[in-house]
Amino acid sequence: MFDNFTLEIMAIIFMTMDHMYTILPKEFNIPIWFGYFGKLAAPIFFYLAVEGFYYTSSRKKYISRVLSMGLVMVFVDIVFKIHNNIFLSIGFGLLMLSGIELLKNSRQDNINKLKGIVLTVLFFILGLTTEASLYGVGMFLIFYLFRNNKLVTYFVYSLFSLFPLINFIGPDFLEAAMLWDYQWMMIFAIIPISMYNGKLGLNNRFTKWLFYWFYPLHLIVLTVISYI
């Protein structure tokens, strides 16, 4: 069984493998299966973000922390031309969930209902413009809406992961699925996610900020290496 910290480390490793494959020049001969494993990273991060949404002592501080790192990545993009910014995908996803929560808890308060609807729709749309796009928005909603029923979560997530394969039906199906677009491999993230034990694991100031700073640093290092 995996705790929160262990899942985070696994996702960081998968993410690094993916970025090694996509960023480093072909001369490095990074195998394509690095990219396969990379598809497990984002689902794990999004799943942990939804869990963090429930367990954090301050949702406001949590979301502010994520969005502040999203702003850092904007500057990183300006300087190093790195377009990756998972923090915006996560931040907008969390704000979308905040809108849904406000809508659920507003009851007879029509003003809060309206605020909830606006927040939900606004950040649903903005989420589609981020790096994770529809996949990110979809995963956030799946992990949130079916959180209390694991079997349903796994089933819906599996359908969501495999649905794009419909576009590849034909004589080139295998080549398309394994070489052209293998995003569907994110289905395998359900294996480590299903082994999550709900515990926080190793927790201190360093581990709290590990992912936040590893993300921009590893992208900068890989990008500089590719320039060299």
91-129: b or e for each residue (b if 16 or more CB lie within 10 Å)?
A: bbbbbbbbbbbbbeebeeeeeebebbeebbeebbebbbe
pLDDT at 108: 77
- H helices, E strands: number in the chain: 11, 0
pLDDT at 34: 97
pLDDT at 110: 84
**CA dist., res. 52 & res. 58, Å (int):** 10
Could you tell me the mean pLDDT of each successive run of 10 residues in the chain, 228 residues long? Answer: 95 98 94 97 98 94 96 95 95 97 86 93 97 96 96 97 90 89 95 94 89 96 93
Query: Domain range spanning residue 86?
Result: 4-227
pLDDT at 51: 96
Contacts 24+ apart (CB under 8 A), 63-72: 63/91, 63/94, 63/95, 63/98, 65/212, 66/90, 66/91, 66/94, 67/91, 69/212, 69/215, 69/216, 72/216
pLDDT at 59: 95
Number of domains, the chain: 1
| pTM exceeds cut of 0.75 | yes
- Residue 20: CB partners within 8 Å, gap ≥ 6? 28, 30, 34, 222
| Residue 164 to residues 5, 37, 56, 183, Cα–Cα distance (Å) | 31, 18, 34, 8
pLDDT at 204: 87
**CA dist., res. 57 & res. 191, Å (int):** 28
Residue reference for tokens 């936040």? 212
